[in-house]
Amino acid sequence: MAAFAYRIDDADEITVLVLTGEIGLESSDELTTAGLDAIAAGSAEQIVIDLAGVTFIDSTGLGALVVIRKAALAAGRRIGVSNLPPRIAKLLAITGLAEAFPSVDR
């Protein structure tokens, strides 16, 4: 089961989207909605996707991340990932998405 939440850190001009659990076919639409809501909810300069709690992600989950990235860029925001587990870092590298989702220290 996956869970998605966001918090807006106005002091640092960052919106953090926190992901946990397995992200796949059953949860990718929910992730897309949470990401778009996070972008719409604030005016932070940067969106950071915290992946520390993600135990699994498939191609539909990656597709949701790409949709969120496109929306963030269209809104004039930067986007990055934090707490990237090695297995997901490897997946991003293999799929060519590592450059699209730069790692951000948080």
pLDDT in tens, 10-25: 667 899 999 999 999 9
What is the model's pLDDT at position 4? 81
pLDDT at 44 (0 to 100): 87
How would residue 54 be classed by pLDDT, with cut points 50, 70 and 90? Answer: very high
> What value does the mean pLDDT of the chain take?
92
* Structure confidence at residue 99 (pLDDT): 95
Residue that is written with structure tokens 């539909």 in the block: 60
pTM for the full model? Answer: 0.91
